[in-house]
Structure 1
Amino acid sequence: MRTIFDYRKRSGTSGILPELDVPGKGSRDLLPSGLLRRSELRIPNLSEPEVVRHYTALSKLNYGVDDGLYPLGSCTMKYNPKVNEDVARLPGFASIHPGTDPQLAQGSLAVMHDMSRLLRRIAGMADVTLQPAAGAHGEITGMFLIKRYFEARGEAERTRILLPDSAHGTNPASAAAAGFSVTEIKSGPDGLVDLNELSGELDDTVAGVMLTVPNTLGIFEENIIKITAMVHAAGGLCYFDGANLNS
Structure 2
Amino acid sequence: MLRLICLAVAGLFAASAVPTSAPVPPAEVAPMGLITLGLEEELDRVEKLLADADKYSDNEEQLMRAGGVIACLSQAAIEHADHEQAKYAAPALRDAALELQSVGDHEEAVAVQETLKQAWEGKSEGEHEREHGWDELIGMYEMMEEMNDRNGGLSRSLRRSRGRESEQLNASTNAILALAMMADHNYLIEEEDAKTWDQLSIDYQQAMTGLIGAIKEKDQDKIAEFYKAGNRACDKCHEQFRD
TM-score interval for Structure 1 and Structure 2 normalised by the shorter chain: under 0.3
Greater Rg, structure 1 or structure 2?
Answer: 1
Normalising by structure 2, what TM-score?
0.27
Normalising by structure 1, what TM-score?
0.26
